[in-house]
Structure 1
Amino acid sequence: MYNCFDIAKQFLKFANEEGQGIEPMKLLKLTYIAHGWYLGFYDKPLIKNSVQAWKYGPVIPELYHVTKRFGSRSVDLETIELYSDNKLSDSDQHFIKAIWNTYKNFSGLDLSSMTHVKDTPWDEAFDPHQYHTIISNNVIKEHYKKLINERRKQS
C-alpha cells in the first residue's frame, strides 16, 4: 500500500512525459479514481490515506492540503516528491498508466462531476451537517466492483 503522494507523483510523471500539467483538482480526483478501481479489481487499497466526502466530492485531505497552493496552476512534481515514500511496483505503474490513459483528457471539473453524483461513494457518505465524513474503503470497493461488473456485461 502506498501513500497518496506516491500515486500522485506517478500521474505527474506520466503528464510530464506527454508535455502536460495537472492542476490540483484533477490530481486529487485521478488519485481517488485510481484507488477506487484498485479496490474494485484487487480487493485491497492502493493508498493508506483516508478519503473524505467534502461538499464538492471525495477528497484525500493530505493531498489536498499540499496541492491547494497551486490554485489552478499545474502541480509541481518536485513538491509532490518531497512527500513520496515509495517507488511503485512495475505492475502498479502499469495500472496507474491505464488509469492515466483512460482519464487524462478529462478536466478536474469533469472528474469531480463523475465522482460526486447520486449513487457514488461520495453520495452515500456525504452529510451536509458534518464537515468531512470518511468514505470507507468498503463503500468505494463495492461501487467500483459494480462498475466493473456493468462493464463486463457490456463487453
Structure 2
Amino acid sequence: MPAQHIPVRAVDVAAAIQERMGEMTAMKLQKLVYYSQAWSLVWDEAPLITEQVQAWANGPVIPELYTAHRGLYSVAPGQIEGDSGKLDKDQLETIDAVLQHYGDKHSQWLSDLTHAEDPWKNARQQAGLTDGARGNVEISQAAMAEYYSSL
C-alpha cells in the first residue's frame, strides 16, 4: 500500500515544475500539471492536487491555476504564488518522471495529445460539448486513473 499523500494545490505543483524547467507557456504549464495529476493517480494511487480538472475547449484545465496565470501567455518562475516545499518526496518523483516524458514537448503537441485521449474526449462528449464549445465539465479522477493505467 502506497504512503498516504496529502494533495496540494495546483499552484504548488506548478511552482515545482517551474523550479525544474523555468519559464514556459501557460498552456504547457497547465498540461504538465494535468499529466502530473493523472500519473499520480496511477503510480501513487492518490491525487496530487486538491482541485478538479475540467475539460475546456483547449484541453484539460485546472481553473484555479488558470486564474493564477490569467492574461499571461508565458509564465516565469515566481509569477504564480505556489510553494513546492509542500510536496513530499514521492510527489516530486512523480513530477520528475512526468517532466522526463513530457517536459521537452511543445505546448501545442501536449494540447493535441490531451485532445486525442479518452478522459478529455469522453468528459466533453458526455456533456454534449462539440469541438471548440466552451464548457467546464469535470474530468473525473476515476476516468484519468482508468485511462492512464491502461497505457
> TM-score of the superposition, structure 1-length normalised?
0.82
Q: Percent identity?
A: 32
Contact 1:32 1:58 in 2 (8 A): yes
1:23–1:60 CA distance, 2 compared to 1 (3 A):
same
1:24–1:65 CA distance, 2 compared to 1 (3 A):
same
Amino acid at match of 1:96: I
Amino acid at match of 1:64: Y
CA RMSD of aligned residues (A): 1.7
Structure 1 residue 35 corresponds to structure 2 residue 37? yes
Report the Cα offset of residue 85 of structure 1: 7.8
Whole-angstrom CA distance in 2 between matches of 1:63 and 1:104: 18
Please list every run of 5 or more consecutive structure 1 residues that lacks an aligned counterpart in the other structure.
148-155
Structure 1 residue 92 corresponds to structure 2 residue 97? no
> TM-score of the superposition, structure 2-length normalised?
0.84
Amino acid at match of 1:110: W
Whole-angstrom CA distance in 1 between matches of 2:109 and 2:40: 21
* Secondary structure in structure 2 of the residue aligned to 1:37: helix
Give the paired residue count: 139
Whole-angstrom CA distance in 2 between matches of 1:85 and 1:25: 20
Contact 1:2 1:86 in 2 (8 A): no
Report the Cα offset of residue 131 of structure 1: 2.1
* Structure with greater proportional helix content: 1
Q: What does residue range 130-149 of structure 1 map to in structure 2 within 5 Å?
A: 131-147=135-151
Moved over 4 A (4+): none
Partner of 1:13: 19
Q: 1:68 aligns with which of 63, 67, 70?
A: 70
